[in-house]
Amino acid sequence: MNHTVHIRSVKPGDAPQLAHIQTESWKAAFREIIPAGILSEYTDPEPVTRMYEHLLTHGSAHGYILELDGAPHGIAWWDAAREPDMAGTAELICIHSLSAHWHQGYGKLLLEKVLRDVKSAGYPSILLWVFDANLPAIRFYQSLGFTASGRKRPSFGSVEEMYTKAL
């Protein structure tokens, strides 16, 4: 089936859609990675909606929504890297999509948009953190040129590894 795809920047009022996509994506992608109690806490839509409301009002990051046939399906968010020793690098803070259309190329379209915008903003490289047990995500990032850094950290009761890509 052919879908109409549109990627747009986030705007005030998008917080409920952003929260819905993030929490549903987490439930589907991380149920075998994050302990159930932690996953339940971080997939409660109310605090996630408040977080996005705050980011939309006060944040400096760059957020996007990918719409399929006019309905929000995927989100991505990037900013300057939060790691103190990675100044001058951009960071993909999150990329999520609803599981109904996984593995159909929409995440790639969204990430390619982020990479173009990061490069246009003058960043020479980008980093992201991915759960080391999230093999589908790791394969996705590697297919787009990201490489493992070997740098790991505990996160949400699991372990994340930093991946990087030169632009």
Name the residue ranges covered by the structural domains of the chain. 5-166
Judged by phi (left if over 0) then psi (alpha if -120 to 50, else beta), residue 76 lies in beta
pLDDT at 132: 96
Q: What is the arithmetic mean of pLDDT over 8-27?
A: 96
pLDDT tens digits, residue range 80-123?
Answer: 999 999 999 999 999 999 999 999 999 999 999 999 999 999 99
Token pair 């995927």 is found at 74
pLDDT at residue 30 greater than cutoff 70:
yes
Question: Is the pTM of the predicted complex or chain greater than 0.75?
Answer: yes
Average pLDDT across the chain, whole number: 95
Both tokens of residue 75?
């989100």
pLDDT at residue 147 greater than cutoff 80:
yes
CATH class of 5-166: alpha beta
pLDDT at 1: 56
pLDDT band at 49 (very low <50, low <70, confident <90, very high): very high
pLDDT at residue 35 greater than cutoff 90:
yes
Residues near 128 by beta carbon (within 8 Å), at least 6 away in sequence: 91, 92, 141, 146, 162, 163, 164
